[in-house]
Structure 1
Amino acid sequence: MLDTNLDIAARYIKDGKLVAIPTETVYGLGANALDPLAVAKIFELKERPSFDPLIVHIADLDQLNKLTSGPDERILKLAEKFWPGPLTIVMPKSDIVSDIVTSGLPTVGIRMPDNKVALELIKRSGCPIAAPSANKFGRISPTTAEHVRKQLPDVDYILDGGKTTVGIESTIIKLTDKGFQILRNGIITQEELEQVVPFDGNSEIDKLSAPGMLKSHYSPKKRFLIADNVSSDLDRSKAGLISFTGNLEGSFKKVINVSKANDLREYAVNMFEAMHTFEDDKEIDVIIAEPVEEQGIGKAIMDRLRKAEYNWQQE
């Protein structure tokens, strides 16, 4: 069911069902984070491997205190600066957080979404909500309710909040004795975070300690390549280009320009939607994406593009 009724969605969460929820980043597949059986349904519906931990979404700092063990003043400083917003902080979990949420890890990733619908749903549900992206595992992230319905038609309820405003998943960080590590790049950049906490570029990062750390992710069902990796003999008459600068648009069957002003934020907002559009287009056999410089938000964009391309590059 696709609708905008928060009371129905909250009742579904309380009853242990799954609700696709809008956030500012992408749509999430939500369940009561304190109900292990409900959380297990997320893994089942997404076909997500059990070793990939989930992010827990909260609406206030009281929930944060219940979900974590041990105070850290740096977390409060980061929360004051970036919450609500697209920042996930991985921190030691309390006993009320089930191992199924964290894939057996002693830490849990938590964020407070900057979306009024999501925040209100968490409040009405009376519980934190575990929510990875509302898509089949490894496939294109959903930025509209229709994207969710296309990939997860069996979800109990889809709460339609319109198109997401950020368009890519949150930045994920973990604090160390020396500062913070970036586990997944997002719209909040290293430079912005360094204004609050020092960057730790030396400590070893734990593998698979957060979502989105696998080599392959965000991938369309059709062949997907970054423009730099396209051979000269590619048949462009059946190719769709995700364009940014406009410099590569000649000879492609179709072009989607994700930004008229060369704005990286617009690229991030529109990138997954462009992938979905070409994936659904019967005239397109291969999707090509224009790369950007890996500075600031460009790091997050290139992270998504490389992971979307990874399996296609192996063929």
Structure 2
Amino acid sequence: MHPAATSDKSMKTPVLIDAIKEPDTLAVAADALRAGEVVAFPTETVYGLGAHALDSEAVREIFRIKGRPATNPLIVHVKDKASAMALVSEWPAEADALADAFWPGPLTIVLPKSTIVPDEVTAGLDSVGIRVPRHPVARRLLELADIPIAAPSANPYTGVSPTLAEHVINGLPDLKYVVDGGATDVGLESTVFSLVGEPRILRPGMVTLSQIQKILPNAKGWDDDDHTDDVAARSPGLARKHYSPSARVIVADLEIRPMVSGTRVGVIRCSPNSPPILDALVKALPSDADGYAQGLYSALHELDAAGCTTILIEPPPHDEAWGAVWNRIKRAAHS
């Protein structure tokens, strides 16, 4: 089971702001953020748990709500490149090239931080991860609030990241504000790329190493064995066990699947030619990496909610396009 998010407030139904049907109500969320409140909102990757990035007390509330250790830094979301430059002490040409190529979009760039960024955001490190999201609701919220927004995924720490507003509410029911912007279209967290020291990917995402190397040929990939449970790291998402449902996750060839009798079994598959699975709840995901990534977390949420105690995941392909998917699956399956 995941650590419960702690709260000294009585649980209540959050204010659900429908940014699609009633876009003008997004101003309520912007006002709340400026006032130091925590607001869940959609990005193209996953839903984020946002707070004013320059307000230390508001940022600490993110950690309290998630049950997140203070050694795990946050990513700061900004409305444009100029806003990103205001938060760092150095903006090299490489950052400019990456921003021009991938922003707005699912790439986080790690740079030396400015002194205006609180230590709570960066886990006390001298660097900060920043990105400009492309989701129209996130972009509008950043424009209205006119502040940088620190935001990890809007779920209990180590749990499955939310790709729908209902996932947020189910996981963090005592939130005060949740912005509903529909389903996310990327479905996995951003690629985190560091320009502090050796230029390299710290956390894989759907922006691949090959794409980055077209801009920075000397860029290096990530080490899939990287993990930091007890010490601060320059990137979030590096805990051994992460992105995981309450159910046990096993990656297994469905033709030789392990015995899991006596349990309610869920199955995630991507091959249309896989053998039938009797007495199992099956979620079939697209066979392309983008489509699979978009649906993976939602499938895990659905199988968990259905009471599955074991989830079998059919191994997807191993080429570069699937690198981020494999990263998330391996961490979800870590016992």
Give the corresponding residue for 2:201: 182
| Count of residue pairs brought into register by the alignment | 307
Which residue does 2:300 correspond to in 1?
275
Instruction: Write the mapping of 1:279-294 to structure 2, written as runs, cut at 5 A.
Output: 279-282=304-307, 284-294=308-318
Taking the TM superposition and a 5 Å limit, the aligned residue runs for 1:149-188 are 149-175=169-195, 180-188=199-207
2:52 to 32, 35, 59: 32
- Post-superposition shift, 1:97? 0.1
Write out per-residue CA displacement over residues 258-304 of structure 1, whole angstroms, 9 at most, x where no aligned residue.
11xx211110000000000000003x321111222332231100100
Separation in structure 2 between the aligned mates of residue 299 and residue 202 of structure 1, nearest angstrom: 10
Q: CA deviation at 1:237?
A: 7.3
How many angstroms does 1:203 deviate by? 11
Q: Which residue of 2 aligns with 1:308?
A: 332
Which residue identity is paired with 1:20?
A
Matches within 5 A, 1:185-200: 185-200=204-219
Instruction: Tell me the distance in 1 between the aligned counterparts of 2:258 and 2:313.
Output: 15
Separation of aligned partners in 2, 1:295 and 1:203: 15
Deviation of 1:176 after TM superposition, in Å, equals: 5.2
Name the TM-score, length of structure 2 as normaliser: 0.87
Residue 250 (str. 1) matches residue 276 (str. 2):
yes
Partner of 2:114: 94
Rounded Cα–Cα distance in structure 2 between residues aligned with 1:301 and 1:92: 29
Q: Which one-letter code corresponds to 1:147 in the other structure?
A: H
User: Which string of whole-angstrom CA distances, capped at 9 and with x for unpartnered residues, describes residues 215-262 of structure 1?
Assistant: 110010111111249753222873111110134342241211111xx2
Please give the alpha-carbon distance, in whole angstroms, between the structure 2 residues aligned to 1:14 and 1:135: 22
Instruction: Give the distance between the partners of 1:190 and 1:38, measured in 2 at CA.
Output: 34
The AA in structure 2 aligned to 1:3 is I
**2 CA distance for matches of 1:237 and 1:295?**
33
Distance in 1 between residues matched to 2:175 and 2:98, nearest whole Å: 34
- 2:16 is aligned with 1:2: yes
Instruction: Return closer, same or farther for 1:193/1:231 CA change in 2, 3 Å cut-off.
Output: same
Take 1:265 and 1:206, find their aligned partners in 2: how far apart are those partners? Answer: 25
Could you tell me whether the CA contact under 8 Å between 1:3 and 1:159 is conserved in 2? yes
- Provide the secondary structure at the position in 1 that maps to 2:129: strand
Q: CA deviation at 1:123?
A: 1.4
Matched, 1:241 2:267: yes
SS of equivalent residue, structure 1 residue 291: coil
> Within the alignment, does 1:130 sit opposite 2:150 as a pair?
yes
Give the direction of change, closer, same or farther, for the CA distance of 1:273–1:285 in structure 2 (3 Å limit).
same
Q: Residues 150 and 206 of structure 1: is their aligned pair in 2 closer, same or farther, counting only changes over 3 Å? A: closer
Please name the residue that 2:22 is paired with: none
